[in-house]
A and B are shown apart, each in its own frame.
Chain A
Amino acid sequence: MSRPGPRRQGRRGGRTILRFTRSERAVHHAVALLMIICLVTAACLYVPAIAAAVGRRELIKTIHVIAGFGLPVPILAGRLFAAFRADLRRLNRFRDEDWEWLRRRDRRAVIDGTGAIPVGKFNAGQKLNAAFVAGAVLVMLGTGAMLTFPGPFPDAWRTGATFVHDWLTLAVLVVFLGHLRYALRDRGAMAGMWDGHVDLPWAARHHPAWLSEQAATREPALRERAPREAAPEATEERGVPGP
Chain B
Amino acid sequence: MAVRSAQCSNSGVTGTGTSGGASARPDEGTPVGRRIVLGMLGLGAAGVAVGAAVQERVDRALSPINRFLPVGGGFRYYSVVDRVEPRDAGDYTLTVSGRVRDRRTFTLADLRALPQTRIIRDFQCVTGWRVPKVPWAGVALPDLLDAVGASPAARAVRFRSFDGAYTESLTMAQARRRDVLIATDMLDGPVSHDHGGPVRLFVAPMYGYKSLKWLDGIEVGDKVVPGYWEERGYDIDAWVGRSNGRDDEPT
Contacts and interface: CB of A to CB of B under 8 A. Distances in A.
A79 interface: no
Nearest to A94: B32
A130 B36 CA distance: 10
B133 interface: no
Interface stretch (B68-76, B113-121, B154-162): B68-76
Given A132-B36, A164-B51, A167-B71, A93 B76 contact: no
B24 A209 contact: yes
A176 interface: no
A163 B79 CA distance: 22
A209 to B, nearest CB: 4
Interface string B35-56: 0111111011001111110110
A52 B77 contact: yes
Interface residues of A, number: 68
A235 B194 CA distance: 56
Given A97-B21, A98-B29, A134-B33, A220 B3 contact: yes
Contacts of A48: 70, 74-77, 194
Contacts of A161: 48, 51
A211 B7 CA distance: 14
Interface residues of B, number: 59
B51 A212 contact: no
Contact of B247 (A86, A139, A155): A155
A134 B37 contact: yes
A57 B29 contact: no
A163 B77 CA distance: 17
A9 B142 CA distance: 82
Interface stretch (A30-38, A120-128, A182-190): A120-128
Contact of A159 (B26, B32, B52): B52
B24 A213 contact: yes
A93 B40 contact: no
Contacts of B18: none
Contact of A132 (B1, B40, B84, B128): B40
B153 interface: no
B76 A92 contact: no
B70 A221 contact: no
A56 B79 CA distance: 7
B62 to A, nearest CB: 13
B228 to A, nearest CB: 10
A89 B48 contact: no
Interface in A61-102: 81-83, 85-86, 89-98
Interface in A150-194: 150-151, 155-164, 166-168, 170
Contact of B32 (A92, A160, A170, A221): A92
A159 B37 contact: no
A93 B5 contact: no
Interface string B51-90: 1101100000000000000110011111111111000000
Contact of B52 (A118, A160, A208): A160
Given A92-B31, A208-B22, A160 B51 contact: yes
9 contacts: A91-B33, A95-B28, A97-B21, A135-B44, A142-B48, A159-B52, A161-B51, A163-B47, A213-B7
Given A136-B40, A220-B4, 19 more contacts: A21-B1, A48-B74, A51-B76, A55-B79, A82-B2, A83-B1, A83-B5, A89-B12, A90-B26, A93-B32, A94-B30, A127-B33, A131-B37, A138-B41, A147-B127, A159-B128, A160-B51, A209-B24, A221-B3
Interface of B: 1-5, 7-8, 12, 20-24, 26-34, 36-41, 43-44, 47-52, 54-55, 70-71, 74-84, 127-129, 194, 245-248
Closest 8 CB pairs of A and B: A135-B40, A163-B51, A160-B51, A82-B5, A139-B44, A93-B29, A95-B29, A92-B33
